[in-house]
Amino acid sequence: MIHLLLAVIYVSFISLGLPDSLLGAAWPSIYQGFGVPVSYSGVIFCIISVGTVLSSLQSDRMTRRFGAGGVTAISVAMTAAALFGFSVSSSFWAMCLWAIPYGLGAGSVDAALNNYVALHFASRHMSWLHCMWGIGASVGPYIMGAALSSRAGWQTGYRVISVMQMVLTIIILLSLPLWKTKSGANAEEREAVPAEVLTLKQIFRISGVKEVLITFFCYCSLEQTTSLWASSYLVLNRGIAPETAAGFASLFFVGITVGRALCGFLTLKFDDTQMVRMGQGIIAIGIAAFLLPLGEAVTLAGLLLVGLGCAPIYPSIIHATPGRFGADRSQAIIGVQMASAYIGNCLMPPLFGVIANHTTIAIFPYYLLVILILMGYMHEALQKKTKAAQ
């Protein structure tokens, strides 16, 4: 039965990735119809992000009350309702209202699913599951593009994904008895429930928590900054044609998705700490390729390498959490890690934009390098503190 549950979780990760790229794909059509500035997509993004941070911080409380399966079902249902709400919205402010349940649903399910997999399954499944998320995030824009090209409108694109999420909700509800299974690749006898919900103050007092939060913040900052600004850097600093840059910017996401598929096999030989270090080393090589004046091919290879380097870091940090901090505290800590990730996603890419606007976009690889150095330092400090505590 555990294999059936694992199949449900794999489908969940694919489906959860589907809506993540929809707003960017649909916005050129949405803002014109609503008569708002193109920059207003940032308002919706911020509302979603704030909701995601808040629900991530409450994931421990919610999971204790409803269980990982229950939280997943509730969150996916909220996401489905929000996406359907987007599809019937006739104004920008209506979309803003529907962004609230979307964000609240996204954060709690992310934390609950990641913690459940970290507790019950081997590291390879964490890598492959996040690879599945990447596939979903890649397919979502194609569904929206098909809706737009067929003149069905962006509303149809959102409605299709909403129906898919509704089907997933039914599947998860039917699978709820399976979520109580205690077996798995890790045979987690270590699973335990804390006496009470941990407060933020208590979480921050745990040795190594500050370090893992900064490590996670840095990783997500680096990933999101690369995602947002790589094309602009290639065009404005390297003189690559915009259409070429747009196409090759996808190499970053290809690197992450393919990398996570490969990392599932590498985890059979390397542990989570080694996987993170390996990823950081590959990112460093990729950044070096940006800095060296060796031509367009090397620069584009650097973009692929940064994506490959990013691949193992997120799933490996998450999977190591129960082992570092204890299964009884992992849900609370993973929830705060998710919040830290979303804060990094929101703050650091715009900060680069401000800095580049006042200096030059040529600082892009140096900006990534500073983040990488801080990430590496904090990860090594985390390793020392949690080893001492074990």
What does DSSP assign to residue 175?
T
Chain centroid to CA 203 = 22
Cα-atom radius of gyration of the chain, to the nearest Å? 20
Judge if pTM exceeds 0.95.
Answer: no
Fold topology of 200-389: Growth Hormone; Chain: A; (1.20.1250)
- Pair of tokens at residue 236: 């404005």
Coil/strand/helix, residue 122: coil
Kindly indicate whether the domain formed by 2-176 is annotated with CATH number 1.10.10.10: no
Q: Which amino acid is at 80?
A: A
pLDDT at 377: 96
What whole-number distance in Å separates Cα of residue 141 and Cα of residue 330?
33
pLDDT at 390: 46
Q: Give the angle subtended at the CA of 119 by the CAs of 182 and 382, to the nearest 5°.
A: 160
The answer to whether 59 and 111 have CB atoms below 8 angstroms apart is yes
First to last CA, the chain: 33
Q: How many angstroms separate the Cα of 282 from the Cα of each of 124, 220, 229, 366?
A: 19, 16, 19, 16
The answer to whether 112 and 72 have CB atoms below 8 angstroms apart is yes
Closest CA to 20 of 141, 148, 160, 162: 141
pLDDT at 100: 94
- Pair of tokens at residue 207: 């040795």
Chain centroid to CA 78 = 18
Q: Domain spans of the chain?
A: 2-176, 200-389
The answer to whether 252 and 306 have CB atoms below 8 angstroms apart is yes
Closest CA to 325 of 57, 55, 117, 119: 119
Which alpha helices (DSSP H) does the chain contain, by range?
A: 2-17, 22-34, 41-57, 59-87, 92-120, 123-149, 154-174, 200-205, 209-236, 242-266, 272-291, 296-310, 313-325, 327-358, 364-389
Tens of pLDDT along the chain (390 residues)?
A: 677 888 888 888 888 788 877 787 788 788 888 888 877 877 888 888 888 888 888 887 888 888 888 888 888 899 999 999 999 998 999 999 999 999 888 877 778 888 888 888 888 888 888 888 878 877 887 788 888 888 788 899 999 999 999 998 999 899 888 887 654 444 444 444 555 677 888 889 999 999 999 999 999 999 988 887 887 888 888 777 766 776 666 677 788 888 988 998 998 899 999 999 999 999 999 999 988 877 778 888 888 899 999 999 999 999 999 888 888 888 889 889 988 988 888 888 888 888 988 888 899 999 999 999 999 999 999 998 887 444
pLDDT at 295: 77
pLDDT at 97: 95
Q: Which amino acid is at 76?
A: V
Q: How many angstroms separate the Cα of 182 from the Cα of each of 3, 7, 12, 72?
A: 12, 16, 20, 18
